[in-house]
Structure 1
Amino acid sequence: MSNLTWISTFLEAQAAELGASNNTQMAYARDLKGFSEWTETRGQVFSQLNREDIEDYLVYCDNQGLAKSTRARRLSAIKQLYRFAFEEGWRDTNPAIQIKGPGLDKRLPKTLEVEEVDKLIEAARLSGRNKNERTRNICLMELLYATGMRVSELVSMPVSASRGDPRMLLIKGKGGKERMVPLSSPARAALVAWLEIRDANEEESQRKGKAASSFLFPSRGKLGHLTRHRFYAMIKEFAVASGVNPDKVTPHTLRHAFATHLLANGADLRSIQTLLGHADVATTEIYTHVLDERLKSLVLESHPLSEAG
């Protein structure tokens, strides 16, 4: 089979069997396309490669100046592809199974102070061309900080997930896994206010003959809901308006802030793992290091002997 057939069949299986998101599939496609182009310059196809060939490709990526994280991601895609090929019987062996990736530099996630989050939420409350937009904006920010959702989970949330008892929110995460996350009082109030406006807008649209939207944050765009890119731009606007450094602010830093602030106030790692939807608690443990660094900085900046040191 051609490289293209391998890639397309693999991606179809990822979507059908594992519920891989469009973003995940696109990332795999980009990485595997680059790998395919490299093999073709050598007059080879995926079915012919051995371990040494794949290691040569990783050396090539290193020589191209690609970051460790990029090389690790590409190797992960290759490993997944060859595991799939072995399971499907396309290969008698898996040439990638014993290849070790580059060691990754551990970087602590960026987070925000409580005061900075408060400023962002207040900026959202005042941002927008009309009451409808301001109500939507405050709902987006309150939900994001109250639940620690990924931005893709937030913008694509079906409205049905917010019906019933607003004290809990049903979130569909990676791989189609669902989790229930409690809502804070401000988030519940913001959600109720937005649902009232959203439903009224939907009723008006339906009277005009337009199809009903299934999303909590509907949009006239191709996806039918607010896009990640639009929300990313919005949160940068909130940062500028609030006086918070925009370089520090992304939707994901709100997710990090959610976890870090919970941990700082006594929540246990297992609970935070469940709320974030992490498959492995080791992923959640990074926030203990964030807290350690913050405490270290506090001592160095505030202790009376720190200047002498």
Structure 2
Amino acid sequence: MSERVEYFLEDMGFHGKSERTRAAYERVLGEYAAFLDQRGVSPADADRRDCLAWVSSIRDGRADSTVATYASYVHRFYAYMSQVGELEANPMSLVVEEMDESIDTDPARREISIPRMRSFVADIRHPLERALVMTLLKTGVRVGELCNLDLRDVTLDAPELGDAYELGGRAHLDGRTDTLFVDPDTVRGATVNGEERTASNKRKRVTLVPIDGELKRALLRWLAIRPDAPSPADPLFVSTSDAWGERLTPEMVRNVVTRHATDAGWYEPGADATENVTPHYFRHFFTTHLRDRTGDRGVVKYLRGDVADDIIDTYTHNWGDRVREVYLDSIYSLTT
């Protein structure tokens, strides 16, 4: 295995990636390096056509979603090594952008209609739990990204809040109301905004996600009862139970979702992951339904955080006229 691949894997360990995740990267990157070796090329010297040839070589006998996952691992390797200055370019960028395969392609996954999800949300009464579920369903954020949100990461046009909260301290949010900021640089173990984080954001770039009227009402209901937080970071979502006022952890959020999904008959211990409804399922729901309603793959990819800085994309350069407009015109309703 090349020295640069070993360097990358070591850094993934430093960033808190699990042993299972590192093993998956090691296996895929090892196969990729072996393929390049047969072509007489090292990972550092590979170009777009080498990447294309490798993707073509792994399609035989593998599901489309597996091919997409493997390609994403190689893409992540190059993106990271470029960011830290070990490599000059990411030859996998355009290849991944043009691939037809989707990591989310899973024909066996449970499919829930918008009306059924609307009924599910209606049964959630606690303001915190309702705000958590609504945020996951209407923004597509990962559970770790949800937990990492601070008050400075959200803006709300809500005069009724008065001076109760200092919202929207991020420079990216200047002049933008009713918006969430998701930071790609927040990683587990790092101290961010004065607090050590226990979860990582897995975005390729800064993402600004619009907040529609429904989600705004859910957030305002939550903020009306939110306990004061001891953390200097002022987390958006904090515990109202045993860990009173402490930032919610991904496990706490999963427990909330599991409890409500079990009540709805959508979760059974030991069942296949494609059948159980989890926070990750909500990201799938968001992607599927918003993509179907917009027909705009680029906007959905931006909102999911899947568009990297090294891919030219016009959507982020015209926020008000494109991403926000498309989102607000297309986002599904989850309340009656």
**What is the aligned partner in structure 2 of residue 147 from structure 1?**
139
**What is the aligned partner in structure 2 of residue 237 from structure 1?**
259
Structure with the largest fraction of helix: 1
**What is the aligned partner in structure 1 of residue 234 from structure 2?**
214
Deviation at 1:172, TM superposition (A): 1.1
Residue in structure 2 matching 1:170, options 172, 180, 198: 180
Deviation at 1:212, TM superposition (A): 3.1
Letter in 2 for 1:269: D
Aligned to 1:121, the other structure's residue is in SS state: helix
Preserved contact between residue 149 and residue 235 of structure 2 (Cα < 8 Å): yes
Preserved contact between residue 155 and residue 217 of structure 1 (Cα < 8 Å): yes
Aligned to 2:235, the other structure's residue is in SS state: coil
Aligned equivalents of 1:190 and 1:75: distance in 2? Answer: 38
Aligned equivalents of 2:86 and 2:280: distance in 1? Answer: 40
Aligned equivalents of 1:178 and 1:269: distance in 2? Answer: 17
Summarize the Cα distance change of 1:191–1:25 in structure 2 as closer, same or farther, 3 Å threshold.
farther
Summarize the Cα distance change of 1:118–1:69 in structure 2 as closer, same or farther, 3 Å threshold.
closer
Summarize the Cα distance change of 1:235–1:252 in structure 2 as closer, same or farther, 3 Å threshold.
same
Aligned equivalents of 2:86 and 2:303: distance in 1? Answer: 39
**What is the aligned partner in structure 1 of residue 228 from structure 2?**
201
**What is the aligned partner in structure 2 of residue 58 from structure 1?**
none
Aligned to 2:217, the other structure's residue is in SS state: helix
Alignment of structure 1 residues 237-276 onto 2, 5 Å: 237-244=259-266, 247-262=275-290, 266-269=293-296, 272-273=299-300, 274-276=302-304
Alignment of structure 1 residues 176-191 onto 2, 5 Å: 176-185=205-214, 187-191=215-219
Deviation at 1:143, TM superposition (A): 1.8
Summarize the Cα distance change of 1:31–1:192 in structure 2 as closer, same or farther, 3 Å threshold.
same
Gap regions ≥5 residues in structure 2: 43-57, 159-176, 184-202, 269-274, 308-312, 315-336
Aligned to 1:197, the other structure's residue is in SS state: coil
Deviation at 1:81, TM superposition (A): 5.0
Letter in 1 for 2:235: F
Aligned equivalents of 1:260 and 1:82: distance in 2? Answer: 28
Summarize the Cα distance change of 1:278–1:192 in structure 2 as closer, same or farther, 3 Å threshold.
same
% same residue:
20
Aligned to 1:249, the other structure's residue is in SS state: coil
**What is the aligned partner in structure 2 of residue 123 from structure 1?**
123
Preserved contact between residue 135 and residue 194 of structure 1 (Cα < 8 Å): yes
Summarize the Cα distance change of 1:80–1:112 in structure 2 as closer, same or farther, 3 Å threshold.
closer
Aligned equivalents of 2:232 and 2:75: distance in 1? Answer: 42
Give the number of the structure whose alpha-carbon radius of gyration is greater.
1
Deviation at 1:259, TM superposition (A): 4.3
Summarize the Cα distance change of 1:137–1:11 in structure 2 as closer, same or farther, 3 Å threshold.
same
**What is the aligned partner in structure 2 of residue 107 from structure 1?**
106
Residue deviations 1:27-84 (CA, integer Å, cap 9, x gap): 3x3234457999xxxxxx99x9555999xxxxxx9xxx99885676457546765895
Letter in 2 for 1:201: D
Residue deviations 1:141-160 (CA, integer Å, cap 9, x gap): 12222323333322221221
Aligned to 1:179, the other structure's residue is in SS state: strand
Letter in 1 for 2:151: V
Aligned equivalents of 2:286 and 2:157: distance in 1? Answer: 22
Deviation at 1:164, TM superposition (A): 4.2
Deviation at 1:138, TM superposition (A): 1.0
Aligned equivalents of 2:140 and 2:282: distance in 1? Answer: 7
- Please report the TM-score for the alignment, with normalisation by the length of structure 1: 0.53
After superposition, the CA RMSD in angstroms is 5.2
Preserved contact between residue 259 and residue 272 of structure 1 (Cα < 8 Å): no
Aligned equivalents of 1:217 and 1:177: distance in 2? Answer: 20
Residue in structure 2 matching 1:137, options 129, 146, 157: 129
**What is the aligned partner in structure 1 of residue 49 from structure 2?**
none
Preserved contact between residue 116 and residue 244 of structure 1 (Cα < 8 Å): no
Preserved contact between residue 137 and residue 283 of structure 2 (Cα < 8 Å): yes
Deviation at 1:24, TM superposition (A): 9.3
Aligned equivalents of 1:188 and 1:82: distance in 2? Answer: 38
- Please report the TM-score for the alignment, with normalisation by the length of structure 2: 0.50
Aligned equivalents of 1:147 and 1:141: distance in 2? Answer: 10
Aligned equivalents of 2:250 and 2:295: distance in 1? Answer: 30
Aligned equivalents of 1:51 and 1:195: distance in 2? Answer: 58
Residue deviations 1:94-113 (CA, integer Å, cap 9, x gap): 9xxx9xxxx97953464421
Aligned equivalents of 1:237 and 1:160: distance in 2? Answer: 30
Deviation at 1:140, TM superposition (A): 0.5
Residue in structure 2 matching 1:30, options 13, 23, 26: 23
Aligned to 1:171, the other structure's residue is in SS state: strand
Letter in 1 for 2:262: V
Preserved contact between residue 156 and residue 216 of structure 2 (Cα < 8 Å): no
**What is the aligned partner in structure 1 of residue 319 from structure 2?**
none
